[in-house]
Structure 1
């Protein structure tokens, strides 16, 4: 990317707070920043409860933000009214995690895709029928499948339909919310290959949400590692995987499978479960599970420090991890 080229999406200081039933405030996402260049894929990674899905949906305004900015193609989406936001819905789409619950079981596939085409004011008649057939072909399904119901498809096929629905309006940016986590391992690679091919074919920009770093390594140009609503590390995938500087990133990498039996990864102990966002630890939110925590970690919220290039880390001991 040239110095004068702005990212397609730039998220700065994104925050989202929820009010719990007991009146306490849940900080689901706190001060999250990242950018997505045109035609690239950014992986948003972390354990369940880290705030990944909330961050992705808030960027799209499916959940209203509590603070921050999301500048898409020069316009802050968070500053738009609901009516103004509708003009951007065609350019911003989402692929949901669960291919079973995200498709209406009472509608045939042509009607499901037709709803998306209605939103884009696509003409009805033979042109729409041809477009539905084209979308199914693009994702590797037969045009004859248009008259079937979702229950007649496998999980992988349903997710292909979900991808076709997202592509129907010819978007510029897609949030893929753990699109393969609900699928059998045998079909995950097929769907990932499809998404990679479509990203290149249509020059799409994507925010790919996952808990599996091996999936992100395969598909993404850049990676953002989140824990309990905060960014722990972010940077180009090759740099983060080759020289990660945060203990949490290293712990996630240690559990990721490696297809090469001759390679070994450092084993970093990661014990216990992620704390409740209702009662997060003081200071660094990762300190209660960090093998390198020191007393100062309880008092300091580590800033996201610049390490050089596009590599950033939030750890007061990052220099010792070089």
Structure 2
């Protein structure tokens, strides 16, 4: 019996996302279509792949065997596509890049310009997205390269079928009103978080990872931050800080371009950080177009 690769991929995505609805969204199908294809795969295999545990679907041992093998199959197919693309005499085609806003400004824009200069026949398309959406799009072939991040206080778990390569690590900086008194910075200008315990904090609303890092960093310094203001717009966050309404904790690439009326200080002691990485589908790194873009991103990161 020959197994249909598209159905195997649906089972693989279900193992990653946990629900039919989430799998359908990633694969751009309806939930009923996903259920139908998985039922057909189950008939092909001749043994149960999914069992219901209350309201949850649980993969059987046979399903996990297929999931592990499917990951290898998908990687081999990516390598085959890359090898065929490498036979071309020039680097050409279209590469779709997803990146979150601060990386799009600092890394994506100059890297795309670099690619255009070196490879005139290569077209790079850019879409703005946070890492969770970017990685789902990467696995679903909606994009080819993704810029993602992780925090040292909140490390990201490995993603199935995805390779990541670190580009740079940046510090998280305390954003303070310019006239904030009562601080005793160290010789290097760094400020201890516990000196800010009595001040209101200004936190991102949509970036739940950064918000969690802010809370964890303050708790590690012995206090729970009072979150008086939140916003999804970093310009708003920095304006609130500049107006003297509180303090914040932001990655350098986010804070520095907006810091006209804000004082930025590194954190004394453990110095929290964010690592920016480039992600591709496992096996696709040999594609000349993808390789050209990732190389340009690395060159740009070295300059940053």
Q: Same fold (TM over 0.5)?
A: no
> Greater CA radius of gyration, 1 or 2?
2
Q: Normalised by the size of structure 2, how large is the TM-score?
A: 0.24
Q: Normalised by the size of structure 1, how large is the TM-score?
A: 0.23
Higher helix share: 2
Whose RCO is larger (CA < 8 A, sep 6+)? 2
